[in-house]
Structure 1
């Protein structure tokens, strides 16, 4: 099916190309001139043409940020991404593209070296005026790590002046409690060397609620209630230097540390009645206090050489992470307050990652040839111990829950890409190989899983510029997704006394092949993607009717087919009222064997976003952002519709040095996630997740100093993304 569609789209493209070839002559220089911003330096004055707000780069959407009225009221870059076509940001700050893909985040063409929590804090420290553009790549070529099924490339504004520059960004989020974010950066540029220092401190309380209703096998009705307060502190410090040795050579080094502490208080209840809901069968209360800490240290070195059409680059990364967590699980009778069960857990997790990469490219006339080689080594060790309170009021080691688990992985990878431009047509082709050698060892249960496999991953794309108003691209890629370390860990992670999930060390990697077509007409951009994923990694519920325990286990599904149709377009209602509309439709078909049956459903859903910007007198800007998600789900679960409304206002002061913003996210507190199990003959279960995303937001940013030199960001590898 995919091959037939590829041939159809290719024939369609060639037909369009043939018709447009005559009209496109003589317009190449005009279209190319528009894709470049002309800049002329006169002493310290910079004259720069205004860039287009929306354009395509080899089929990828590129959206201007600085100076874009659509983002003037955005508090930070994470808020910008929420309003970017094709990008979704959930209640916990997770970033997704293409419906369910977690993308790699790049800064100026390089992946960033941060954990998911650090990345969110960093994106919140970037105000829109610090960012030149955002590029969304939903079909990366073979040049990039095969783990990268999608990429968001953030281009920071270029800096050119000498001297020093400092900035402060502060945000306050107010709900039942409040959360505060502070980021400070300073850089000094001498002409040959740039020194930079970044520091941050975040502190506050966030809340979470979980409600579940389950009709048990014996016809009783059980209600689960969970309330959680998470008090967190995070400190980070990063220092580096960038040496420009001469016009051809550059060397950089960066050191960082990040330290995080979380004290979580979770309380809940299990309330069970008979089917008439008049007789109480069980009423228990649970407490789950947690003490969590993370210390990580990182080092990045990079070197680049450039001479005429030849480029050579080296990138080395080292990351060390240590996680510690202590939990208490106390279950009591609600009425008699007697302790029914009590167990403790003590977790230590250590991760070490080393990567080294070399890239080289050569331009020959209108042909670019690029090749690269990469080696990565990951080593993780986990030790979790459970102790249970015995009848003698003594804590006794619990071997049924405890486990020692280690995972080692080595990946050798290389790629070769070819790019040629022929008039308005550009062709890209690439081939990547990745050899993976991994050993997972569940020491307590004496289970060792060893794998060694080599995979070839091709990519191909073609793009054509008809004129300055329209362009078209077509691309194909094949990707691999390896299991994250947490997915392999055979540990119990508890949500409630009767609800937990367990990792599966036997998980296989999944492989995705997809085709994407994109067309732009002026500011209207439409893309269509279709593909197939094999050995899909997912979780499934397993209910025990005797104990009423609900486990979530990991497995590989045989395959799933998917398709996406996305379009975005701006509408100017008046001089002071602009609307950007985003509409996306999704199709998903999972082939899911489950409990001796096979469930395969065609799932269709859509999303609609409206971003309205009002430019008011005295340079006030008001923004109203509305997002609606239709009913969706998978072969086992239904996910109910939800929507959100955000309102914000912005004002700049003192010649734009001080920027203040105030807003209310999720104004109607309507963005909770509600799920329901489809197959009532197996299990009648429905539950709701709620986060405190309905928040009043205050934001302040202030810039001082004269330097505009760009501080180079440290970089992240795909292995570090999988430490989550």
Structure 2
């Protein structure tokens, strides 16, 4: 199968040069001060004065127009005024180098102000949500922007892509390693004023790591203008059941060849969680209630510097670190009922205290070299990441009769303690090579990671800690991967465009359970092809078809066979024999006038990873075990409609219909699922005054009952309201947000394992009221573009 992918890719690449006899003209537009002019129109007319092509210059003032061979008139125009024109003979590729615009200096500024991009744009391999043109996102943070981004859902402060199993988030084309609350807190430090666009990549190209199993979201930050500095202060107060306070600030500076940025953020507070379970054994039914209070205490910071050694060579470094001391206090109650008499057999009460101390550090060194004026460049990244995670969990459990009298020997207590240390080293190179007949990119990456776990279990029931050898574990895991990729993009005609890619990854792993004297190794090479075809029939309609293959490697903690006990009747356990899961994605899309987006997609996942529940009928012990245990097929129809016909109202609406099947591939007495589900969302922003300084928003989403792997899920929904104020010439932003007003965002699911019925519900304190304030001052120019790290895919798999 892999040879077939290689042959197809080679044949297509070799044949693309002969598809059509076309040439191109390129150049760069600069103003009277020798500065690049962005978003100015470049036109190409034939001998009959008919317009053949029209393009806009990019941020560097560059343009490229592809056309048939012949004689043309090339013009540069703004606001109806021709600033430059020249007759050209296109018998071969032509480079006009720099075109100096000597008139209309004042008009150039007007173009930058009055030109308005579309809110949503479709490219051959992604959908682009232009945040800077959305009134809904103004005055918020990256989380606010993601909430109204097409195909993205933010639920319980977890970010997912509609119709996809998993997804990853990037900042300026670099995956970020954070997950969970750490990721949410980091994204809240990014203001929407600093975001240029958000790219939704449902089928990532070969350039990106194959890890992810589904989609990518790429947050593109605005670039800095020369000789500028900016600073901002932000603070928010969030009241759910308990309060959480967040404070932070950022600073950016660019002067001549030097660029510098930093941001700091501190979050302290807590939230309530309530989880309920019902386990139907043959003779008894267990009703468990877990009440938790999760404390947040995290300080994070980011600092970076870039320096231009020359006009074409930039080097830089950055550091990202966090100090996190989360704590969870949990109070569990179990009522055990006899199924025959419907009377209470016994009660179990448990209290636990989970205290962690997690420190992480990322260091990146990078270099970018522009090789010529056509856009050819080469970039290098060297990265180091360290995660030091210490955990101490203790619990006390008391069994009692129905009248609350303690049962003999019914008291147990224990302490789980240990640490996790992860070190990752990586290096990568990316080359962009726009040839005459194809835009080519290629590169490679290598990384090495080593993880150490040391976990100890002590029985403290007698008051004296007794070390339990059979419930403790020391585990080491190493992983090494080498990757190469090549990708080519060609516009065949005015209407047809194609992009092909191939990525190859070779991985070696070794897991060593020192306690169990057990070593597991794995060595595999995999090929990941990508294909994109786009047809633009006219200015109102565009069609595209894409295909890609992805994988999801096990997270490091999922490979550890150590049992983590929550109480004497509940634990989770990793699996050193886990192997990656793979997903094939194919998608057909239609775009009408950049306001209506239709998508038909199919995904097939094999060797799926999960941690299904298991129950012991005799001991009544329940546990979660990580396994490769299923194959799933997902069919999705989605519609996205953007309504912005009124200056005071902007609305983005989305509807999805899913059909999913899950087949269990192991003999573990679990049942698969199949069935329909649906999702609907509407996000509305209203300008409430003439000065556009007061804006309101009404957002709503609804998830219908459906199926997720082995679980059948119930419906959930959320209604959110908000109002935002821009004061002091937009320097001060105030926002008041009320989320999940009717408290309907509650996860409820059920399944059957070993003929035992299991259902649970989880409420994560999603109803809250938040007041946020941010103040920005400085040169009033755009913020610095921040670079990501080169080893993000590996770090993201770390257990945090």
Output the TM-score relative to the length of structure 2.
0.83
Q: Is the 8 A contact 1:577 1:615 kept in 2?
A: yes
Supply the distance in 1 between the matched residues of 2:119 and 2:521 (Cα, whole angstroms): 50
Pick closer, same or farther for the CA change 1:35–1:472 going to 2, 3 Å: farther
**Deviation by residue 1:418-471 (Cα, 9 ceiling, x = unmatched):** 221122222111111110000011221122110111112211111122333221
Residue from 290, 295, 299 that aligns with 2:363? 299
Residue from 260, 269, 279 that aligns with 1:214? 279
In the alignment, structure 1 residue 87 sits paired with structure 2 residue 159:
no
In the alignment, structure 1 residue 236 sits paired with structure 2 residue 260:
no
Supply the distance in 1 between the matched residues of 2:672 and 2:654 (Cα, whole angstroms): 29
In the alignment, structure 1 residue 723 sits paired with structure 2 residue 798:
yes
In the alignment, structure 1 residue 559 sits paired with structure 2 residue 628:
no
Supply the distance in 2 between the matched residues of 1:57 and 1:27 (Cα, whole angstroms): 23
Pick closer, same or farther for the CA change 1:572–1:313 going to 2, 3 Å: closer
Equivalences for residues 465-614 of structure 1 within 5 A:
465-522=536-593, 523-557=595-629, 559-571=631-643, 576-593=648-665, 595=667, 599-614=671-686
Supply the distance in 1 between the matched residues of 2:715 and 2:752 (Cα, whole angstroms): 15
Equivalences for residues 71-110 of structure 1 within 5 A:
71-72=137-138, 75-91=140-156, 93-110=157-174
Partner in structure 1 of residue 772 of structure 2: 699
Supply the distance in 1 between the matched residues of 2:209 and 2:394 (Cα, whole angstroms): 40
What is the SS of the residue equivalent to 2:132?
coil
Equivalences for residues 347-386 of structure 1 within 5 A:
347-386=418-457
Q: Is the 8 A contact 1:162 1:709 kept in 2?
A: no
In the alignment, structure 1 residue 50 sits paired with structure 2 residue 148:
no
Supply the distance in 1 between the matched residues of 2:634 and 2:193 (Cα, whole angstroms): 37
Supply the distance in 2 between the matched residues of 1:210 and 1:344 (Cα, whole angstroms): 23
In the alignment, structure 1 residue 29 sits paired with structure 2 residue 53:
yes
Q: CA deviation at 1:225?
A: 1.0
Residue from 224, 228, 233 that aligns with 1:159? 224
Pick closer, same or farther for the CA change 1:512–1:594 going to 2, 3 Å: closer
Partner in structure 1 of residue 88 of structure 2: none
Partner in structure 1 of residue 204 of structure 2: 140
Supply the distance in 1 between the matched residues of 2:313 and 2:645 (Cα, whole angstroms): 51
Question: How many residues end up aligned between the 2 structures?
Answer: 698
RMSD: 2.7
In the alignment, structure 1 residue 273 sits paired with structure 2 residue 322:
no
**Deviation by residue 1:43-102 (Cα, 9 ceiling, x = unmatched):** 9957422110011121411111123123236x42112212222112231x2222143433
Partner in structure 2 of residue 20 of structure 1: none
Q: CA deviation at 1:278?
A: 5.5
Partner in structure 2 of residue 398 of structure 1: 468
Q: CA deviation at 1:607?
A: 0.2
In the alignment, structure 1 residue 321 sits paired with structure 2 residue 387:
yes
Higher Cα radius of gyration: 2
Equivalences for residues 405-416 of structure 1 within 5 A:
405-416=475-486
Q: Is the 8 A contact 2:177 2:794 kept in 1?
A: no
Q: Is the 8 A contact 2:371 2:378 kept in 1?
A: no
Supply the distance in 1 between the matched residues of 2:51 and 2:478 (Cα, whole angstroms): 55
**Deviation by residue 1:601-628 (Cα, 9 ceiling, x = unmatched):** 3222110001122222353221111100
Q: CA deviation at 1:165?
A: 1.1
Pick closer, same or farther for the CA change 1:209–1:411 going to 2, 3 Å: same
Pick closer, same or farther for the CA change 1:336–1:558 going to 2, 3 Å: closer
Q: Is the 8 A contact 1:500 1:551 kept in 2?
A: yes
Q: Is the 8 A contact 1:168 1:701 kept in 2?
A: yes
**Deviation by residue 1:495-514 (Cα, 9 ceiling, x = unmatched):** 55423221111111112112
In the alignment, structure 1 residue 651 sits paired with structure 2 residue 722:
no
Supply the distance in 1 between the matched residues of 2:177 and 2:239 (Cα, whole angstroms): 29
Supply the distance in 2 between the matched residues of 1:37 and 1:604 (Cα, whole angstroms): 48
For structure 1, the 5+ residue unaligned runs are: 8-24
Pick closer, same or farther for the CA change 1:200–1:294 going to 2, 3 Å: same
In the alignment, structure 1 residue 637 sits paired with structure 2 residue 711:
yes
Supply the distance in 2 between the matched residues of 1:225 and 1:116 (Cα, whole angstroms): 23
Pick closer, same or farther for the CA change 1:264–1:182 going to 2, 3 Å: same
Q: Is the 8 A contact 2:632 2:709 kept in 1?
A: no
Supply the distance in 2 between the matched residues of 1:240 and 1:454 (Cα, whole angstroms): 35
Partner in structure 1 of residue 258 of structure 2: 193
Supply the distance in 1 between the matched residues of 2:695 and 2:151 (Cα, whole angstroms): 24
Supply the distance in 2 between the matched residues of 1:602 and 1:212 (Cα, whole angstroms): 23
In the alignment, structure 1 residue 457 sits paired with structure 2 residue 528:
yes
Supply the distance in 1 between the matched residues of 2:434 and 2:631 (Cα, whole angstroms): 40
Partner in structure 2 of residue 660 of structure 1: 734
What is the SS of the residue equivalent to 2:325?
strand
**Deviation by residue 1:259-302 (Cα, 9 ceiling, x = unmatched):** 01122211111111223676321112111012111111221010
Q: CA deviation at 1:359?
A: 1.3
Q: CA deviation at 1:115?
A: 4.7
Pick closer, same or farther for the CA change 1:37–1:662 going to 2, 3 Å: farther
In the alignment, structure 1 residue 423 sits paired with structure 2 residue 423:
no
**Deviation by residue 1:620-674 (Cα, 9 ceiling, x = unmatched):** 2211111000111245321111111000011110111111110101111110101
Equivalences for residues 702-713 of structure 1 within 5 A:
702-706=775-779, 707-713=781-787
Partner in structure 1 of residue 248 of structure 2: 183
Pick closer, same or farther for the CA change 1:573–1:472 going to 2, 3 Å: closer
Q: CA deviation at 1:336?
A: 4.3
What is the SS of the residue equivalent to 2:730?
coil
Supply the distance in 2 between the matched residues of 1:301 and 1:635 (Cα, whole angstroms): 41
Pick closer, same or farther for the CA change 1:607–1:251 going to 2, 3 Å: same
Supply the distance in 2 between the matched residues of 1:464 and 1:492 (Cα, whole angstroms): 53
Q: Is the 8 A contact 1:407 1:441 kept in 2?
A: yes
Pick closer, same or farther for the CA change 1:127–1:538 going to 2, 3 Å: same
Pick closer, same or farther for the CA change 1:712–1:529 going to 2, 3 Å: same
Deviates more, 1:190-199 or 1:32-41: 32-41
Residue from 678, 690, 710 that aligns with 2:763? 690
Output the TM-score relative to the length of structure 1.
0.91
What is the SS of the residue equivalent to 1:50?
coil
Supply the distance in 1 between the matched residues of 2:383 and 2:179 (Cα, whole angstroms): 14
Q: Is the 8 A contact 2:673 2:707 kept in 1?
A: no
Q: CA deviation at 1:597?
A: 5.3
